[in-house]
């Protein structure tokens, strides 16, 4: 079944650790996105990609980085996690010609 997967669902780590949040989709979508969401707040776009080897920063500045080596895979990396990075991270994908997003279940990150 075509879907979009995020792992892990929950992550609690200490300050200074390097982490990678995984996102994979089996729908063959060219466009992929990372959104950050704090409780009661809007989803903010932090990274997006329109295809392999294409990545752009979103509207909200983020210390994270992304890569798009394969169409189906769009991992997000934090080199040195800090408590300010505590948030929910949502990955999404869409068709090239469509703004309708399909979301993963999210990763809730807590940095102590």
Partner 1 sequence: EDKVVQSPLSLVVHEGDTVTLNCSYEVTNFRSLLWYKQEKKAPTFLFMLTSSGIEKKSGRLSSILDKKELFSILNITATQTGDSAIYLCAVANAGGTSYGKLTFGQGTILTVHP
The site for partner 1 (CB under 8 A) is made up of 9, 31, 33, 35, 40-45, 48, 56, 58-59, 88, 90, 94, 98-106, 108
- Give the shortest CB-58-to-partner 1 separation in angstroms: 8
Other CB atoms within 10 A of residue 65 CB: 14
Nearer to partner 1, 33 or 74 (CB): 33
- Give the shortest CB-80-to-partner 1 separation in angstroms: 26
Nearer to partner 1, 16 or 50 (CB): 50
Nearer to partner 1, 42 or 79 (CB): 42
- Give the shortest CB-57-to-partner 1 separation in angstroms: 11
Residues in CB range of 10: below 8 A, 6 or more apart: 107, 108, 110
Closest-CA residue to 24 (of 79, 61, 67, 78): 67
Closest-CA residue to 102 (of 38, 25, 48): 25
Closest-CA residue to 29 (of 58, 72, 91, 63): 72
- Give the shortest CB-103-to-partner 1 separation in angstroms: 5
Nearer to partner 1, 14 or 39 (CB): 39
3-state secondary structure of 104: coil
């Amino acid at each position: 079944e075509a879907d979009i997967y995020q792992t892990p669902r929950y992550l609690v780590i200490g300050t200074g650790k390097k982490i990678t949040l995984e996102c994979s989709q089996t729908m063959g979508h060219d466009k992929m996105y990372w959104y950050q969401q704090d409780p009661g707040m809007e989803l903010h776009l932090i990274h997006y990609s329109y295809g392999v080897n294409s990545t752009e920063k979103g509207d909200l500045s983020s210390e994270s980085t992304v890569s798009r080596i394969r169409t189906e895979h769009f991992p997000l990396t934090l080199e040195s996690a800090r408590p300010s990075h505590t948030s929910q991270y949502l990955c999404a994908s869409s068709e090239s010609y469509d703004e309708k997003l399909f979301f993963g279940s999210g990763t809730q990150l807590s940095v102590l």
